Amino acid sequence: MNKTYRDEFRRLFLLEHLPEPLTPADAHLQIFDNYLFNTRLRLRSVRVPETKQWTWILQQRFAIDADLAHWKLAEIYLNEIEYHTFETFEGREIRKNRYFYEMDGKQIEIDVFLGDLRGLNLAKVNFETIEELRDFKFPFAVLEVTPEKFFHGENLVERKFADVQAEVERIIETQHSKDTIIAEIAKENE
């Protein structure tokens, strides 16, 4: 049995803004993700603003299923010298602030993107099982984007917020088309 990877069952939601009572001034982490070109690897730096403490991690992650809800994740925690060895791979970076929100016994990670992706807010909810994942309801999401590859870090790394807006419009139009077709089929079968 390979114990290198851990399973991650998750859903991803698009948010318009931080849910109340959270504000941008609340406690958060600063995350710098550098995606290594043509790999499943990323070099992650995490900074705690209050203490100025840094954590450096080399991560490998990949989806197991087509709906992108089941992932495998492996991590190696680095010291500062080891991290600097990997700095030559920096440059394909995403910066975001991560907030934590508790709801119905679940901790929700909310990423507020910075730079070219400012305006993008994604909430990730992790689950112990697929069954738990399927039963979860998220009341303040604009749109669920779990199965959308576009919203995964390695695909966002060279995007701008205008690209995000165009993708959201495409998803909504596609969903509307599916709903219309389903309604027409149901009407024909009455």
Give residue 184's pLDDT. Answer: 55
Pairwise CA distance, residues 184 & 162, whole Å: 33
pLDDT in tens, 118-172: 999 999 999 988 888 888 888 888 899 999 999 999 899 989 999 999 999 999 8
Pairwise CA distance, residues 82 & 102, whole Å: 34
Looking at per-residue confidence, does 76 or 86 come out higher?
Answer: 76
Pairwise CA distance, residues 32 & 115, whole Å: 11
Give residue 19's pLDDT. Answer: 93
Looking at per-residue confidence, does 89 or 69 come out higher?
Answer: 69
| Predicted model pTM | 0.87
Give residue 177's pLDDT. Answer: 62
Q: Kindly indicate the confidence band of residue 185, based on its pLDDT and cuts at 50, 70 and 90.
A: low
Give residue 133's pLDDT. Answer: 84
pLDDT in tens, 37-78: 888 899 999 999 999 999 999 999 988 888 888 899 999 999
Nearest by Cα to 146 from 10, 55, 1:
10
Residue positions counted in the chain: 190
DSSP assignment of 85-103 equals HHGGGTTSEEEEEEEEEEE
DSSP assignment of 129-148 equals SHHHHHH---TT-SEE-TT-
Asked whether 32 and 113 are in contact (CB, 8 A), the reply is no
Q: For each of the domains in the chain, give its residue range(s) and CATH number, in order of start.
A: 6-188 (2.40.320.10)
Give residue 92's pLDDT. Answer: 85
Give residue 98's pLDDT. Answer: 98
DSSP assignment of 61-129 equals EEE-STTS-EEEEEEEEE-HHHHHHHGGGTTSEEEEEEEEEEETTEEEEEEEE-GGGTT-EEEEEEESS
Average pLDDT over residues 102-107: 88
Please determine, for residue 1, whether its predicted confidence score (pLDDT) is greater than 50. Answer: no
Residue 88 CB contacts under 8 Å (≥ 6 apart), including other chains? none
